[in-house]
Chain A
Amino acid sequence: MKKTNPALAARRAFLRRLGRAATYAGAALGVGSLGGVQKVAAKNESTSGTGSFPTKDYDWTKRRWAFGVDATKCIGCLRCVEACKRENNVPGDAHHFRTWVERYVYLEGEDKARIDSHHDPVNIAASGSEREYRFANRYKDAKVEKAFFVPKLCNQCTHPACVQVCPTGATYKTVDGVVLIDEKYCIGCQYCVQACPYGARFFNARKGVTEKCYWCYHRITKGLQPACVEVCPVGARIFGDLNDKQSPISLFIRNNRVHVLRPETGNAPNVFYVGLDKDVV
């Protein structure tokens, strides 16, 4: 036994060293990851003066963006969809949209709406191309009791489920209220696509990252309107700063009884609707 003792002691010492090394490595890893947390948290601070922001004189602490949709005004012309695709270089097919318009039709004698959107094969066949969008006149022979359009886009939620589930912090909520995606940091796991209850996110296979509407952040930070708002011929889309009490969006919310989509999710969306209906999803 005596002969084995030194060896045993050496092994014990080795294991102790192994344990200590593991502790140090763990501590180092912990500190490293804390550093990472700080880095991600730093995204939520003011960027003015840092020089890293595309628009130098923009201060995101001074804005609180919000979006309004007056569904009673929408005529389903889909200019917004096409403008968005061009402005944001969205894949030109019928499966990837940052904004889209839904059509709800109640036929006589039916108590549930028939719903479609421009991605529907019938509508794509009517337009003749996956790059151009229109609503086919598919109900021309039916007796329509009620019909309306509902534009959809990212709700830039106050408690975004997509941001909650992002494992890297590549998608984050800015101070001015928009949810952005860092496409140089996104790993493309698509957990956020699953988590969004509104179907607002999609995976861009060419870029290998997730994409969605960000209210044309590159425009609004320069004082411009989002492309879809700009092209809407009937003023169904309203955009502005809630910090400005006289902005179009402040007036829209103050002067109307507004709804949000799926409030039960707890996401607290920031697209405010007028003219929704019981069947709107």
Chain B
Amino acid sequence: MEPLFHAATYTGYVYPNETVIPWTVLIVVYPYLTGLVAGAFTVSSLYHVFGMQRFKPVAQFALLASLCLMIFVPLPLLLHLGHPERAFNAVITPHWTSAFAVFGYAAGFYIILLLLENWFVFRPHIVQQAQQRKGLPGWFYRVLSLGSYDLSGKAMRYDHKWIFALAVTGIPAAHGLHGYVGFVFGSVKSREWWSSDLMPAIFLFSAIISGVALLIALYVLSCKLRKTPVDRECVKGLGYTLWGFLMFTLVLEGVEFGALVYRGREGIETILEYVTGPLIVPFFILQFAIGAVIPIAVLSYMFWEGTTGKALVAGVTLSACLVLFSVFMMRWNVVIGGQEISKTGKGLVDYQMVIFHREGLVAAASVIIAPLVLLLAMVRLFPPWADNAVPSSAPDARGEVLPRVVTETK
């Protein structure tokens, strides 16, 4: 039988109850997933709302990715709860002074918004499949069409109004949801490491870079898998977005850390002991050097040199993968880091991740992989690719040319 709890070792003086870390790796995964949702949605909005044409190849894919990720956002929380079957208590009797009380509503609203927007965006494909396919797939698409088969120009213009409105509503919804996750941590006054007004902003900007990075990585990977040429203008645009937001995120984190040290409140000696000790590998080496400095250097060099072609795609993809890792480490260093610094200000706790446990490594990794598996299935059901370069081995998807043309006449 697995032990009921895992006690952590510590140095200095920590309160007796602090020797069991309350929030584990699952609570690292939770803001990570939410951030990916917000970031992916940002890219989709850059096209759907702000009309940035170069993001067109990934705009629909971004929306689909947002939905797949968002569906799994509540999972790490549910796995973490002592009584997951009571989770709805927070929705039935929300205690409004709690930053957590709004989660159920915010997440529910956002999932509905994503479902609606995806439905409108993929409606042409759904209708077409509903008319062409037979058997179970046909039945599936006919149900999804909700009985509406009209793809006329007028209907499409009408759909676009909805897509636009939903995308506009989604911007504050997605970013509000993630800024709010930052608030959940930033508003905890008992932990000096979290208690910062900048926390929501830092969470938000790191969310954007993680989402952009995820799209770059998945888009390039999908092109390799589909044997289609990568749209280099699109990748370059995403690279620029990543570069810019990455710089901004780093500045915000620097300002926050600088303020923490400069304020030098009670317990700062312990915080500095933590920063110059246990934090060296997870923060300075993994999150900062490998995850942020290398991507910034690579991107800066490429944009400075005007690198094009395969080298550009490779460089941007490499940077994206590193940023994805960096943002995960950022979540880790915030969530775990905050708990490793004792509330006494005179001790440090050492969190050891368990491998096989409801809140262990395997569970956390599964929660991260699950949305990607769902996405893999979803892109087959709803091809989001705007390049039309469908490999000849997939005749079913050939017919999507017509609706694509319609969506282009925006």
Contact = CB atoms under 8 A, between A and B. Distances in A.
Contacts of B191: 194
B345 interface: yes
Interface in A112-147: 115-119
A17 to B, nearest CB: 12
Interface in B80-131: 80-84, 86-87, 89-101, 103
Interface string B13-31: 1111111101100000000
Contacts of B140: none
Interface in A37-58: 37, 39-40
A161 interface: yes
Contacts of A116: 13
A11 interface: yes
Interface in A9-51: 10-12, 14-15, 32-33, 36-37, 39-40
A257 interface: no
B343 interface: yes
A36 B162 CA distance: 34
Contacts of A37: 93-94, 96
B346 A281 contact: yes
Contacts of B4: 205-206
Contacts of B389: none
A272 interface: no
Nearest to B87: A187
Interface stretch (A66-74, A167-175, A226-234, A245-253): A167-175
Given A199-B17, A206-B4, A33 B155 contact: no
B276 interface: no
Contacts of A167: 89-90, 94-95, 98, 100-101, 103
A197 B343 contact: yes
A1 B81 contact: no
A129 to B, nearest CB: 15
Given A11-B155, A95-B20, A189-B81, A199 B15 contact: yes
Interface string B57-93: 0000000000000000000010011111011011111
A209 B15 contact: no
B148 interface: yes
B393 interface: no
Contacts of A195: 188-190
B152 A8 contact: yes
Contacts of B13: 102, 115-117, 281
B165 to A, nearest CB: 12
Contact of B19 (A11, A119, A152, A210): A119
A10 to B, nearest CB: 8
Contacts of A186: 82-83, 86
Contacts of B90: 167-168, 187
Contacts of A215: none
Contacts of B14: 199
B95 A169 contact: yes
Interface in A196-247: 196-210
B257 interface: no
Contact of B82 (A32, A97, A187, A197): A187
A40 B95 contact: yes
B5 interface: yes
- B22, B93, B146 — most chain A CB neighbours (10 Å): B93
A187 B81 contact: yes
A191 B17 contact: no
Given A161-B189, A165-B100, A190-B22, A40 B93 contact: yes
B158 interface: yes
A165 B93 contact: no
A200 B17 contact: yes
A166 B184 CA distance: 12
Contacts of A190: 22-23, 80, 82
B89 A265 contact: no
Interface in A85-117: 93-97, 100, 102, 115-117
15 contacts: A4-B152, A11-B148, A95-B5, A95-B16, A96-B20, A115-B344, A117-B13, A119-B19, A168-B93, A189-B77, A199-B344, A201-B17, A203-B20, A210-B82, A281-B344
Given A115-B344, A189-B81, 8 more contacts: A33-B93, A95-B5, A100-B16, A163-B97, A165-B100, A194-B22, A196-B190, A202-B20
Interface of B: 4-5, 7, 13-20, 22-23, 77, 80-84, 86-87, 89-101, 103, 146, 148-150, 152, 154-155, 158, 162, 184, 188-191, 339, 343-346
Instruction: Identify the 4 closest CB pairs spanning chains A and B, nearest first.
Output: A188-B82, A199-B15, A208-B82, A36-B93
